[in-house]
Chains A and B, each alone.
Chain A
Amino acid sequence: MIQKNIVEIKNLSFGYDNRMLHKDINMVFPRGKVTAIMGGSGCGKTTILRLIGGQIKPKAGQVSVDGKIVHKQDRQGIYELRRKMGMLFQHGALFTDLSVFDNVAFPIREHTKLPESMIRDLVLMKLNAVGLRGAHKLMATELSGGMARRVALARAIALDPDIIMYDEPFAGLDPISMAVICDLIRTLNDALGATSIIVTHDVEEAFSFADYIYFIADGIVAAEGTPKELSKSKLPFVHQFVHGEKDGPVPFHYNAPSYKKDIYESI
């Protein structure tokens, strides 16, 4: 039976040592939709992608992908699940010793026994989709940040995954590259019939293309809804985040004893 939600997160808790990063989180990612996970830096957004990919195990609760509980799979099972996923890392994570062409061909060569002529066609198709067919001979180190991100995207979709995960796809990009990636996320999602999960803190971009958005704060889902619902939200955290206010529920100052006490104690 095909599940309606390709990824489901149920009562998930995760943390390092004594610090809990996520407390009892529930999320669903319906097939064919673009869902964004938003929140401040260091709130554990990327960790959720790593939990979905099975790179780390939850402390409690579960993540299921295509009906299978990720942390209960053995190595083989996790690798099978990962073959349904494509992930775009924050800085692309291209293999620096390979050319653009070989980077995109990498997953195809590793997982299929296709003849080299067919691999060439596939790679050029994927590169064409991100507009970089002409750059296939360049080395990964010769690319600009935006180009590297697009090549990494071509590599992530090389095996036509069911789920495409994006880890901060807009971080450190100029406005043009940002608009290109923004457009690609939506186009590729719809063209491949995939499901996209995007971790970001760029409000404007996420609101422009996401179907549904989760806000994470203090380890819980602080708010969720469609972009339309959220932009009207009266919740103080969402208001602060969406409007980029310096102070609010998320304080400007890191936890500290009183200023007066700190100053006098040092004397």
Chain B
Amino acid sequence: MNPIFKILSGLGSQVTSRIWRLGSATRLFLLTLIYSGESFRRIHLTIREIYFTGVMSLIIIIVSAFFVGMVLGLQGYYTLQKYGSSESIGVLVALALLRELGPVITALLFAGRAGTAITAEIGLMKATEQLSAMEMMAVSPIARIIAPRFWAGVISMPILASIFSMVGVMGGYLVAVPIIGVDHGAFWSQMNVNIDFRFDVINGLIKSVVFGIACTIIALYEGFDAPPTAEGVSRATTRTVVTSSLTVLGLDFILTSFMIAH
């Protein structure tokens, strides 16, 4: 075969397979929405998943948030003091966390901690014929397995992001006030005055809800679509992290541009 033709056809098949996967992931997303009734009628199914995806991710979220907040405090103070506005450190830490770092880092950590767990679990359920068995028992795996995990992810993400921002602010405070010696009152009052609830807090929450939908559906789709072999599941798990991370960063740019334009 002509090498140029080979390259082009390889490229073409890559593109079509990506589009095909996007289409089938969208189909899974729509089916999940259609079959969501049971996740709320039998709320214990969703609560159980919130425990596994949300509560079990708390440690990594809290520890990371604390360090991120402390680093923000240090770096922020270092730069701000050059301009003589080190009292604004509280605003800087809170804005960075609420608008960007809270939702984005939470989503990235969520993809690594909960997303991979979801993909591996569903991939292995498929490989060991548990999903087939459920189908044969006339129980829809989408209603019983996929939808509760989807809603658990969507509900957990904004809560985790809020906790991240809150703990991050505490980390920033710890560095700025007791250690560096910024005025306690200035730290909080500047933050209080300069943070807009609608523009900063709500927009951050909107971001984390969107990231929650994206990360969870990617993890679910990768597991559901994984070839039923050890290699298939491991590759699907890797793809979950890569695709989720890129999607989160891309979506963050799009959402931020809309929010700032507004």
Q: Which of A80, A90, A95 has the most CB of B within 10 A?
A: A95
Chain B hits for A95, CB < 8 A: 125, 130, 133
Return chain B residues, CB-CB under 8 Å to A94: 130
Interface: A207 (CB within 8 A): no
For residue A91, CB closer than 8 A to chain B, the reply is yes
**Which stretch from B135-143, B160-168, B247-255 is at the chain A interface?**
B135-143
Q: What total of A-B pairs shows CB separation below 8 Å?
A: 45
Q: Is A110 an interface residue (CB 8 A)?
A: yes
Cα–Cα, bound, A94→B136 (Å) = 13
Closest Cβ of chain A to B32, distance in Å, is: 16
Q: How far is the CA of A82 from the CA of B14 in the complex (A)?
A: 38
Does B129 count as interface, using CB distance less than 8 angstroms?
yes
How far, in angstroms, from A107 to B104 measured CA to CA in the complex? Answer: 41
B128 and chain A: residue at smallest CB distance: A93
Residues in B117-174 with C-beta less than 8 Å from chain A: 125, 128-130, 132-133, 135-139, 144
Q: CB within 8 A of B133: which of A79, A83, A93, A110?
A: A93
Q: Does A106 contact B128, Cβ atoms closer than 8 Å?
A: no
A82 and B130 alpha carbons, distance in the complex (Å):
16
| A93 touching B132, Cβ below 8 Å | yes
In the complex, how many angstroms separate the beta carbon of B38 from the nearest chain A beta carbon? Answer: 10
The answer to whether B129 and A83 touch across the interface, beta carbons within 8 angstroms, is no
- Contact residues in A for B138 (Cβ distance below 8 Å): 78-80, 82-83, 110-111
Q: How far is the CB of B244 from chain A (nearest CB, A)?
A: 23
Closest residue to B144 on the A side, CB-wise? A110
Q: Which residues of chain B are near A209, meaning CB under 8 Å?
A: none
What total of chain A residues lie within 8 Å of the partner, measured CB to CB? Answer: 21
Q: Report how many residues on chain B are interfacial, defined by Cβ distance under 8 Å.
A: 12
Residues on A with C-beta less than 8 A from B128 are 91, 93, 96
Task: Report whether B132 and A89 are in contact in the complex, using a CB–CB cutoff of 8 Å.
Answer: yes
Asked whether A106 lies within 8 Å of B129 as measured between CB atoms, the reply is no
B48 to chain A: closest residue by CB: A97
Could you tell me the dominant secondary structure of chain B's interface residues? helix
User: Do A110 and B136 form a contact, CB below 8 Å, given A89-B129, A91-B129?
Assistant: no
| Complex alpha-carbon distance, A83 and B132, angstroms | 14
**Complex Cα–Cα for A93 and B127 (A):** 9
Within 8 Å of chain B (Cβ to Cβ): is A11? no
Q: Which residues from 81 to 103 on chain A have a C-beta closer than 8 Å to any C-beta of chain B?
A: 82-83, 85, 87, 89-91, 93-96
Determine the distance from Cα of A182 to Cα of B138 in the docked complex, in whole angstroms. Answer: 26
Which residues on A sit within 8 Å (CB–CB) of B132? 55, 89, 93
CB distance from B72 to the nearest CB of A (A): 39
Q: Which of B129, B137, B144 contacts A82 (CB 8 A)?
A: B137
B129 adjacent to A107 (CB under 8 Å): no
Please determine whether A85 and B136 come into contact, CB atoms closer than 8 angstroms: yes
Flag whether A53 is at the interface (Cβ < 8 A).
Answer: yes
Q: Which residue of A lies closest to B143 (CB)?
A: A110
Alpha-carbon distance between A208 and B57 when the two chains are bound, in angstroms: 54
Question: Complex formed: what's the CA distance from A78 to B137 in Å?
Answer: 11
Task: Report yes or no: A96 in contact with B130, Cβ–Cβ below 8 A.
Answer: yes
The smallest beta-carbon distance between B117 and chain A, in angstroms, is: 12
Chain B residues with CB under 8 Å of A53's CB are 135-136
Q: How far is the CA of A89 from the CA of B129 in the complex (A)?
A: 8
Smallest CB separation, B8 vs chain A (Å)? 24
Task: Return the contact of A110 from the options B129, B130, B135, B137 (Cβ within 8 A).
Answer: B137
Looking at the assembled complex, report how far the CB atom of A230 sits from the nearest CB atom of chain B, in whole angstroms.
29
Contact of A55 among B125, B130, B135, B144 (CB under 8 A): B135
- Give me the interface of B with A, judged by CB distance under 8 Å: 125, 128-130, 132-133, 135-139, 144
The 3 A-B residue pairs with the shortest CB-CB distance in the complex, in nearest-first order: A93-B133, A93-B129, A79-B138
- Can you give 19 contacting A-B residue pairs, CB < 8 Å? A53-B135, A53-B136, A79-B138, A82-B135, A83-B138, A87-B133, A90-B129, A93-B130, A94-B130, A95-B125, A95-B130, A95-B133, A96-B128, A96-B130, A106-B139, A110-B137, A110-B139, A111-B139, A152-B133
